[in-house]
Structure 1
Amino acid sequence: MGQEAAVVATNGSGTRPHAVVMPYPLQGHVIPAVHLAQRLAERGFTVTFINTESVHHQIASGGGADDIFAAARAAASNPLDVRYELMNDGFPLGFDRSLNHDQFMEGVLHVLPAHAEELLRRIVVDPASTCLVIDTFFVWPATLARKLGVPYVSFWTEPALIFSLYYHMDLLTKHGHFRCEARHGGSYRERTSRTLIARFRSVYFSFLFSCTNNFFHRGAMVVCGGAEPRKDTITYIPGVASIEPHELMSYLQATDTTTVVHRIIDRAFAEARAADVVVCNTVEELEPWTIAALRAAGKPFYAVGPVLPAGFTRSAVATSMWPESRDACARWLGAQAARSVLYVSFGSYAHVTREELHEIARGVLRSGARFLWVLRPDVVSADDPDPLPEGFATQAEGRGIVVPWCCQVEVLSHAAVAGFLTHCGWNSVLESVWAGVPMLCFPLLTDQFTNRRIVVREWGAGASIGDRGAVRADEVRARIEGLMGDGEEGARLREQVGKRRATLQAAVAPAGSSRRNFDDLVDDLKRRCGGR
């Protein structure tokens, strides 16, 4: 690890600009960070990529090499100056981070920053030529960048909409859509007093609104009347015309906002406000008003997505944290008719309940569709490695296969695949759109609920199949039949996903918005890292 590259290019100051890239230690964050690191290296940067030892161990167990960039360096027409470093996250390799989520997150909050500082003090040899390109969800980058005297580039792997919602949590709190319980603690007398004041303010501001509609926004300054947040439409986030509370990320829908993840989000976005630059894995034409509003706040915001492997093929850099059933998937898909297969996957981290999984499985069976289902062994629990309904394998024989993991871009780009039943992780959404595959959306956690809103409500490129705890087999069956069939619904979904596919492809084409934004980002970083 930490090897020297054979070729070192120079800029005007005599040294390469140096980008230190570090993803959040989850699969969905590692993948776009790897591809961004490669793109920076291709544009003349020395890149030091940092993985946690745990993430690297999982990648290596899935078939990755000791240095995951070795194959990419060997395949590049121009040698890439990419160094690979590992960092301890404070837990032993055998510790189950998914099963012990909260304990792991406490470590990310309190322990990992010290390890990061120790490593970065060794890596950042020349601060004048170095920048930190660090995942937004970390709680230390801006503070540590100031200590080291280097710029902080906040890499946001989700839509700009979600960045804006987190960035404006203060507005959600002010208007009573978030963090209500924190504002109603204290004694009964204090809570009653605040409730009466809130009601008075509500009446008072409603009166003022009726008098001067142009000065006050209806509902502004109304605080929660109890522990539950407001349920009316949110219309005051800059660059977001409207969003419903049930479309917020799961952490912004929670009534208990004292969890470790909420503390991480608070700290991370305090750091993001101090970032020098924000880079986002989205496309300008998909979120123009949100991106414009974020730029108007005064910080460079570069939409450079979709950050996908070159040619939308298997990446030369190993990123999969699960062993892939590549040959089995390829053989089975190769024997299927064009546009006949439903691909099912719930991603690399979040869990479903056994009851939810059984309803979805029954719906898949009743639909009659052929299917390829990626089912992680721990998708319900590490203690429940066979969570499908009894008799499922027998009933599905000849119609589908279940594998523990796959190369998703290879599956989605296969001509046999017609639809994707997905948890709506942002990588999965972008990959599905790029492949022209419409989606059935069953979000499980965090950003996935807001991503569903984008796919279903804004793009019309997918359909919802229920909610956590409220998914039913007959609805699943009906949605699959609608998507896979030749009727009006399937045609509409394919047409809409095709439009978004064209948008993505245009964005990364020469003179496309993402290509221009990436060029501008490179120029900006070279000025910050090499022109001083």
Structure 2
Amino acid sequence: MSTRYTPMAMANNQYQKPHAVIFPLPLQGHVIPSVRLALKLASNGFTITFVNTLSIHHRIRKSQPSSADNNIFTGAAKSGLDIRYMTISDGFPLGFDRSLNHDQFMEGLLHVFSSHVDELVGKVVHCDPPVTCLIADTFFVWSSMIADKYNLVNVSFWTQPALVLTLCYHLDLLRQNGHFASQDNRKDTIDYIPGVRAIEPKDVIYFLQATADNVSKVAHRIAYKAFDDVKRADFIVCNTVQELESETILALQQKQPIYAIGPVFPIGLATTVVPTSLWSESDCTQWLHTRSHGSALYISFGSCAHVSKQDVVEIAYGVVLSGVSFIWVLRPDVVKSDEADFLPTGFEDEIKGKGLIVPWCHQMAVISHPTIGGFLSHCGWNSILESICCGVPLLCFPLQSDQFTNRKLVVDDWRIGLNLCDKKPITRQEVADKIKGLMNGDQLGDELRKNMKEFKRIVENALSIDGSSEKNFNQFINDLKLKLQRKSG
């Protein structure tokens, strides 16, 4: 029988200084909001122990060659925040390519990673002040087990929209109604999920579109465990905005405590930089300064999604046909192969003076620049939230996971973006036409910009002192402290 720890048996007033250990999923799109949450909690009096995998830590350090500091939170600590930093093995050697061997990597996270987590938490649980709270990414399958063993408050951090969480939360309903894991999944509208008015099967998160023959993949096995485990969490913190998904959030709140606190950005820490990038960031400032207001398109497919060489070629020719200026982020591994030359022959010479291609950049620094008038995006949730905050309309090209559901929100529900392609395969002419529709000052482009301006206002209001996200965050802290008091009583 496992040992049960009771750190709250220490000084009676320790609940006033909560200590949370935070485990982000080891993907950049999950690390970024987790770092921001850590900063926000530390700014509100928490002690934080933040845990990155050795692989993520190594890549962040490699992307910062000028820095000799192994603690990514050194700047935050100098600002007076109590944030400790630790690393943990994910079970694979540093040289293992987690991107190209994605399924094998996920098998390790499913079966092996929890033992490393258990060992680390066992070591830090009695530090000063004692660890009282576990904050783990919802996709981890071990959170309730670790929280129960060490008597910690169990907080699940959901980094995607509430709509995606709700769909995954109701896997049983989708299965019972034949929209998931049946021999021939139904194609009609899904209209029975609490808090979801209606959604087409093509718009649900990608692994929920699988038939019975394809539901034993690692993504499904993780989903079954993770979305069963999240129902045991004491609290769910969600990186979304109440006003953007009010019906969905209200329905979830009938199940268990959930707090929409997004978009999670650190407050009062404008000069504190916590590195989270897995690649060295190119400085695009000089190029941006040479362009006119709203004239340039920003293109990026995020930190882990892959695209085919054929699609890269069609997008490249389509951008040229559109005639717009552009910055295109092309990761070295964006095409899932060993092929390094995936752009059309002579393309970089053809776009000189018109476009800039970089392997990576600081996205917020680019899309917040007045030169950027549109974003051709894979529809990662961080990218969508950042686009809204910067008032930049989207051209949507989802590639995996939640991105298809995110596109549904952007294009159908909120009308702040366009589909890049309504049919497959994509063609250069369609790419050119959609870019023109997004960027030019015609009726469609003007409507998107008008709608985006309203959504930017909504998000800014939510983040204000009296806004919904700030109120929900404060309510979460209050509820967490009450929970800690009861556990120590």
Normalized against structure 2, the TM-score is what?
0.93
Instruction: Verify the 8 A CA contact 2:331 2:360 in the aligned structure 1.
Output: yes
Residue in 2 that maps onto 1:268: 226
Instruction: Verify the 8 A CA contact 1:17 1:530 in the aligned structure 2.
Output: no
Residues 306-346 of structure 1, C-alpha deviation per residue, up to 9 Å, x if partnerless? 012448968610001111112xx111111111111000000
Q: What fraction of aligned residue pairs are identical, expressed as a percent? A: 50
Residue in 1 that maps onto 2:52: 51
Residues 109-162 of structure 1, C-alpha deviation per residue, up to 9 Å, x if partnerless? 011011111111111117976110100000100111111111110000000000
Structure 2 residue corresponding to 1:257, chosen from 215, 219, 223 = 215
Deviation at 1:22, TM superposition (A): 0.9
Residue in 2 that maps onto 1:120: 121
Structure 2 residue corresponding to 1:381, chosen from 328, 336, 339 = 336
SS at match of 1:440: strand
SS at match of 1:36: helix
Instruction: Verify the 8 A CA contact 2:189 2:198 in the aligned structure 1.
Output: yes
SS at match of 2:262: coil
Query: Aligned runs of 1:264-303 on 2, under 5 Å?
Result: 264-297=222-255, 299-303=256-260
Q: 1:470 to 1:14 in 2, by over 3 A?
A: closer
Residue in 2 that maps onto 1:317: 274
Query: Are 2:240 and 1:236 aligned?
Result: no
Instruction: Verify the 8 A CA contact 2:40 2:266 in the aligned structure 1.
Output: no
Instruction: Verify the 8 A CA contact 2:16 2:481 in the aligned structure 1.
Output: no
Q: 1:402 to 1:314 in 2, by over 3 A?
A: farther
Structure 2 residue corresponding to 1:330, chosen from 280, 285, 290 = 285
- Write the letter of the residue equivalent to 1:430: L
- Write the letter of the residue equivalent to 1:265: A
Residues 354-408 of structure 1, C-alpha deviation per residue, up to 9 Å, x if partnerless? 0111111111110000000000001003512221111211221110110000000
Query: Aligned runs of 1:95-134 on 2, under 5 Å?
Result: 95-125=96-126, 130-134=132-136
Query: Aligned runs of 1:129-528 on 2, under 5 Å?
Result: 130-180=132-182, 227-255=183-211, 256-297=214-255, 299-310=256-267, 316-326=273-283, 329-466=284-421, 469-528=424-483
Residues 153-183 of structure 1, C-alpha deviation per residue, up to 9 Å, x if partnerless? 0000000000000000100000000011xxx
Q: 1:359 to 1:457 in 2, by over 3 A?
A: same
Deviation at 1:25, TM superposition (A): 0.3
SS at match of 1:155: strand
Deviation at 1:14, TM superposition (A): 7.2
Q: 1:176 to 1:312 in 2, by over 3 A?
A: farther
- Write the letter of the residue equivalent to 1:339: G
- Write the letter of the residue equivalent to 1:140: W
SS at match of 1:505: helix
Normalized against structure 1, the TM-score is what?
0.86
Instruction: Verify the 8 A CA contact 1:129 1:528 in the aligned structure 2.
Output: no
Q: 1:530 to 1:325 in 2, by over 3 A?
A: farther
Deviation at 1:529, TM superposition (A): 3.0
Deviation at 1:510, TM superposition (A): 1.1
Q: 1:315 to 1:386 in 2, by over 3 A?
A: farther
Instruction: Verify the 8 A CA contact 2:39 2:266 in the aligned structure 1.
Output: no
Distance between the aligned counterparts of 1:61 and 1:13, measured in 2?
A: 38
- Write the letter of the residue equivalent to 1:278: I
What is the alpha-carbon root mean square deviation over aligned residues? 1.7
Distance between the aligned counterparts of 1:15 and 1:503, measured in 2?
A: 33
Instruction: Verify the 8 A CA contact 1:312 1:409 in the aligned structure 2.
Output: no
- Write the letter of the residue equivalent to 2:26: P
Deviation at 1:471, TM superposition (A): 1.4
Distance between the aligned counterparts of 2:12 and 2:264, measured in 1?
A: 25
Deviation at 1:436, TM superposition (A): 0.2
Q: 1:11 to 1:351 in 2, by over 3 A?
A: farther
Q: 1:114 to 1:243 in 2, by over 3 A?
A: same
Query: Aligned runs of 1:24-63 on 2, under 5 Å?
Result: 24-63=25-64
Q: 1:59 to 1:128 in 2, by over 3 A?
A: closer
Distance between the aligned counterparts of 2:432 and 2:356, measured in 1?
A: 18
- Write the letter of the residue equivalent to 1:21: I
Distance between the aligned counterparts of 2:271 and 2:454, measured in 1?
A: 24
- Write the letter of the residue equivalent to 2:390: A
Q: 1:128 to 1:323 in 2, by over 3 A?
A: closer
Distance between the aligned counterparts of 2:428 and 2:348, measured in 1?
A: 17
Query: Aligned runs of 1:86-97 on 2, under 5 Å?
Result: 86-97=87-98
Residues 441-499 of structure 1, C-alpha deviation per residue, up to 9 Å, x if partnerless? 00000000000000000110000011684211111101111111111011001001111
Distance between the aligned counterparts of 1:315 and 1:417, measured in 2?
A: 25
Instruction: Verify the 8 A CA contact 1:281 1:306 in the aligned structure 2.
Output: yes
Distance between the aligned counterparts of 1:265 and 1:14, measured in 2?
A: 33
Q: 1:382 to 1:314 in 2, by over 3 A?
A: farther
Instruction: Verify the 8 A CA contact 1:313 1:410 in the aligned structure 2.
Output: no
Instruction: Verify the 8 A CA contact 2:49 2:85 in the aligned structure 1.
Output: yes
- Write the letter of the residue equivalent to 2:27: L
Distance between the aligned counterparts of 1:66 and 1:121, measured in 2?
A: 23
Instruction: Verify the 8 A CA contact 2:75 2:272 in the aligned structure 1.
Output: no
- Write the letter of the residue equivalent to 2:87: L
Distance between the aligned counterparts of 1:519 and 1:364, measured in 2?
A: 45
Q: 1:344 to 1:419 in 2, by over 3 A?
A: same
Distance between the aligned counterparts of 2:39 and 2:406, measured in 1?
A: 26
Residues 62-98 of structure 1, C-alpha deviation per residue, up to 9 Å, x if partnerless? 1164100001222x2xx11100010000000010000
Instruction: Verify the 8 A CA contact 1:11 1:17 in the aligned structure 2.
Output: no
Instruction: Verify the 8 A CA contact 1:235 1:242 in the aligned structure 2.
Output: yes
Unpaired runs of 5+ residues, structure 2, are 1-10
- Write the letter of the residue equivalent to 2:356: I
Residue in 1 that maps onto 2:8: none
Deviation at 1:228, TM superposition (A): 2.3
